Amino acid sequence: MPAPREISSQSEFDAALSGAGQALVVVDFHATWCGPCKAIAPVYASLASSHPNALFLKVDVDKVSTVARAQNVTAMPTFSFIKSSRTLEQLRGADPNKLRSLVQKYDDGKAPAGGFPGGGRTIGGATPASTTPPGAGNPLNGVKMENLLPLVVVALYLAYVLWP
C-alpha cells in the first residue's frame, strides 16, 4: 500500500479490516486541529511506503467518531496495530521512534488478502536479487564518523613509523 487510506465511515473501516486478512493494519486516529498529528504525518506516510505488505489507514476522529469510540481512542494521535480484526497494541502520542519500532515489531510481511502471490521474478526469469540490507557485511556499520577519525590517524601514524 503506497499511501495511507483515509476512512470515511464505520462500514468502510470494517471492510478494510476484514479485507486485510492476516496482514498488519496500522490506524492513525488524528484530528485536523491536532499539531502533533500534523507533525508525525510524514513519518506515518513514509512507513506506509516502506511497508507495502501492511495496510495503513487514517481516521479523522471528528468526521468518523463512531470508529474512534469503538477503538477506545481518547487522545490524538493514537495509532492502533491490528491483525485479524484484533487490536494488538495502541500507541498514544507522536513518538516517531516508537511508531517505527511497533510497525517493525508487528509487520511480518504477510500481504493483505487479495495481494499478489509468489516471490516474483525479474526479466528473463532470474530469481529476485538478494534482500540483504546495504552495509550488512561491513564491520564498521553503525560506527559514528567522529569515532573513526582517531582510528584513522593512529593507523596512518603507525604506517608512517613502521614502514621500512
CATH number at residue 43: 3.40.30.10
Asked, for residue 131, whether it belongs to a domain, the answer is no
Asked, for residue 125, whether it belongs to a domain, the answer is no
Asked, for residue 63, whether it belongs to a domain, the answer is yes
Asked, for residue 113, whether it belongs to a domain, the answer is no
Vertex 28 angle, CA 71 and 116, to 5°: 100
Number of structural domains found in the chain: 1
Given the residues 17, 34, 99, 102, select the one marked as catalytic.
Answer: 34
Helices (H) and strands (E) in the chain, counts: 5, 5
Spatial distance between the Cα atoms of 10 and 52, rounded to a whole number of angstroms = 24
Asked, for residue 152, whether it belongs to a domain, the answer is no
Can you tell me which residue has the cell 469503538? 70
Above 80 in pLDDT, residue 105?
yes
Asked, for residue 149, whether it belongs to a domain, the answer is no
Asked, for residue 121, whether it belongs to a domain, the answer is no
pTM over 0.75? The answer is no
Asked, for residue 47, whether it belongs to a domain, the answer is yes
What contacts 57, CB < 8 A, 6 or more positions away?
4, 5, 6, 7, 13, 16, 25, 26, 27, 28
**Mean pLDDT in the chain?**
82
Amino acid at 123: I
Given the residues 23, 26, 37, 82, select the one marked as catalytic.
Answer: 37
What band does 54 get if pLDDT is binned at 50, 70 and 90? very high
Which stretches does DSSP call E strand in the chain? 5-7, 25-30, 55-60, 78-83, 86-92
Is residue 146 flagged as an active site residue? no
Average pLDDT over residues 67-89: 93
Amino acid at 51: H
Closest CA to 58 of 50, 19, 67: 67
Is residue 37 flagged as an active site residue? yes
Min mean pLDDT across 31-40, 96-105, 128-137 is at: 128-137
Residue 106 burial class via C-beta count within 10 angstroms: exposed 0-12, middle 13-18, buried 19 and up: middle
| Domain region containing 31 | 5-105
